[in-house]
Amino acid sequence: GPPYYTNDPGTPGHLNWEINLGYMPFFYSDQSVSHTPDVDINFGVGNRIQLTYENAWLRVQNPGSKTKYGLGQSNPGVKWRFYDHGETGLNISVFPQLFLNNPNDAVRRGITPASQAFLLPVEFSRKLGPVDVDFEVGYQSVHKGPDGMIGGLVIGHDVTRKFEMDVEFYNQSTFHPSENQPTFDIGGRYKLRPPAILLFMAGRSLEPTHNNQTYFLGYFGIQLLLPPKPFESDEPHPQESPQ
C-alpha cells in the first residue's frame, strides 16, 4: 500500500482506520498529472477484511492549454486475507476493486478516461531473513478500453525500529494493443508520533520516456492509524522495562 502501487495482504484490524493522504506527481514528456491530494481510506471489519475507498483531486497540465482540475475516478474495494500465517509467515489476500467515473464533467474535459474498470488482484507477503517481500498480480477488465494485467514487487528492510526503506518494481500492461508501463521506485516510511507515519517515494519508468512513460513519479504524504495506539517500535521489548 501507500506510498507504493503494490498492495500487500495487511488490513487495519477490527474497527480500525488507516487513512493515507498524499501528493502524487506523474511527469511525462508532453504532460503532467498530479493527485493534489490523493485520499485513500481503509476500514477494518474483523481482523482479515478491509473496506477501501480512494479518490483524488487531479491537476492535468498539457502544453498549449490551460491547466485543468477535477475529481478523479472513484476506487472502492474489499480486501480479504484468506491465508494468514502470522507476521513472518506466508500471507495471501484477494482485493477486488472498481474504477468508476463520477457524475461530473471530468471525462468530457479530458481529466479522466471514458473507460471504467474492474480489477481482481491477489497479494502475497513473506518475511525472508532480514527483508520483507510483497508481491501482487491481477487481471483488469476494462469497459470501453483494452483489458490488461498489473504486477508489483516490493522488497523492504527495517533500517531502524522507526524507519523502513523499500524498493519497488511495478508494471501495468494492456493486451490489445500490447503496451507496458514498467516503473522502478525507492521509498520509505518513518514513524513519527502516533497516529502519524511519514510516507515518501520517488521513481521513473524503466523504458525510454514517451507519451505513456513517466520520467518522474512520486508519493509524498502521511498515514494516520486510528484510533491512536503506540507503535510497535515505541513499545518495550520483553527484556526491557518501561520507563
The closest of 112, 77, 118, 70 to 95, measured between CA atoms, is 77
50-72 average pLDDT score: 94
Q: Which long-range contacts (CB under 8 A, 24 or more apart) does 203-206 make?
A: 203/168, 205/181, 206/182
3-state secondary structure the chain: CCCCCCCCCCCCCCCCEEEEEEEEEEECCCCEEEEEEEEEEEEEECCCEEEEEEEEEEEEECCCCCCEEEECCEEEEEEEEEEECCCCCCEEEECCEEEECCCCCCCCCCCCCCCEEEEEEEEEEEEECCEEEEEEEEEEEEECCCCEEEEEEEEEEECCCCEEEEEEEEEEEECCCCEEEEEEEEEEEEECCCCEEEEEEEEEECCCCCCCCCCEEEEEEEEEEECCCCCHHHCCCCCCCCC
- Quote the pLDDT of residue 85: 94
Residue 235 has pLDDT above 60, yes or no: no
Using a cut of 0.85, tell me whether the model's pTM lies above it. Answer: yes
pLDDT value, residue 105? 86
The whole-number average pLDDT for the span 33-44 is 97
| pLDDT value of position 239 | 47
For residue 25, say if its preceding peptide bond is cis, omega within 30 degrees of 0.
Answer: no
Question: How far apart (Å, rounded) are the C-alpha atoms in residues 203 and 191?
Answer: 22
Question: Among candidates 195, 126, 197, 190, which has minimal Cα distance to 163?
Answer: 190
In this predicted model, what pLDDT tens digit does every residue of 22-32 receive, in sequence order? 999 999 988 89
Residue 97 forms beta bridges with which residues? 77, 119
Mind listing the pLDDT tens digit for each residue in 79-131? Answer: 999 999 998 899 999 999 999 999 888 999 889 999 999 999 999 999 999 99
Find cell 492509524 and name the residue: 225
All three cell numbers of 61, joined, read 497540465
Grid coordinates representing 78?
474489499
Residue 72 neighbours by CB under 8 Å, 6+ apart: 35, 55, 56, 57, 58, 106, 111, 112
